[in-house]
Amino acid sequence: MDSQLGEGTEFTVYLPAVEGPTAAAERTPETRTGAGETILVVEDEAGVRRVVRAILRHGYDVVEASDGEQALRHVREQGATFALVLLDLSMPTMSGGEVLQRLRSLTPDLPVIIFAGQGVRLDQFPGATAVLSKPVKQHELLSAVAQGLNPPYSIQNEYSRAWCR
């Protein structure tokens, strides 16, 4: 520190050099992209569907369903097309849990990732591939989808932890 009356103060700070990646680079999650797989997004809130579609536009085709009946209709008509389902747990008319049961009877091996509130566990929904708690971050969603398409895997975010089959 150098200070002169009427001139001001000058501070000199010496920071050690660090080799290797920067801290920001270490914290930046890997962005995964798909290979054109089709994902069915079942969510009653249009705004959430738009955000999920925008996130998944990096390499995935997205088909949207605003409720359970529409989702089941899509699966009956084009079941083999879908590589994975993202399913909101809390929907009017038909709950995500009921949709999951019906999906399992139609396509037992189709991976299904449930979006839920905090505190929901994978073991509460037999047949689900994983549970992601809302709010979910972009890198968490992309990672979960990539892992869901390539088992075995574990999927987690800062709000939930689910070890998957």
Total of domains in the chain: 1
Tell me the pLDDT tens digit for each residue of 80-125: 899 999 999 999 889 999 999 999 999 999 999 999 877 787 788 8
Q: How confident is the model at residue 150 (pLDDT cuts 50, 70, 90)?
A: confident
Alpha-carbon gap, residue 52 to 49, rounded angstroms? 5
Per-residue pLDDT at 26 exceeds 50: no
Preceding omega of 135 cis (within 30 degrees of 0): yes
Q: Decide: helix, strand or coil at residue 57.
A: coil
Domain span at residue 139 reads: 2-163
Preceding omega of 108 cis (within 30 degrees of 0): no
Q: For the chain, give the mean pLDDT.
A: 82
Joined tokens for residue 82: 């879908």
3-class SS string, 61-122:
EEEEECCHHHHHHHHHHHHHHEEEEEEECCCCCCCHHHHHHHHHHHCCCCCEEEEECCCCCH
Q: Can you give the CATH number for the domain in which 21 is found?
A: 3.40.50.2300
Residue 136 dihedral angles phi and psi, to the nearest 5°? -110, 140
Q: Decide: helix, strand or coil at residue 26.
A: helix
Q: Are 106 and 125 in contact (CB under 8 A)?
A: no
Joined tokens for residue 66: 């605003």
